Amino acid sequence: MLGVMAMARTAREKSETGIYHVMLRGIDKRKLFLSYSDYHKFIDYIRKAKDKVEFTVYAYCLMPNHVHLLLKKRTVSYELGDIMRRITVGYAQYHNIKNGRTGHLFQNRYKSEVVDNDAYFFTVLRYIHQNPLKAGMVKSMREYKWSSYNDYFNNSNNKLIESTFVLDLFKDIKQFEMFMNEYNEDKCLAYNPPKRYTDKELQEIASSLVTINDLGTLDIETRNKVLKDIKETTGASNRQLSRVLNIGRGILDSMK
- Residue 89: domain span: 19-180
The model's pTM: 0.70
What pLDDT sits at residue 14?
80
Single residue among 180, 212, 240 that ends a domain in this structure: 180
pLDDT over threshold 50, residue 3: no
Q: What percent of the chain has pLDDT over 90?
A: 52
Q: Are residues 248 and 168 in the same domain?
A: no
Q: Are residues 116 and 237 in the same domain?
A: no
Single residue among 148, 180, 212 that ends a domain in this structure: 180
User: How many domains does the chain fold into?
Assistant: 2
Q: Are residues 35 and 134 in the same domain?
A: yes
pLDDT over threshold 50, residue 5: no
Does a structural domain hold residue 5?
no
pLDDT over threshold 50, residue 255: yes
For residue 48, the tally of other CB atoms under 10 A from its CB is: 14
Residues 113-133 pLDDT 10s: 999 999 999 999 999 999 999
What pLDDT sits at residue 194?
52
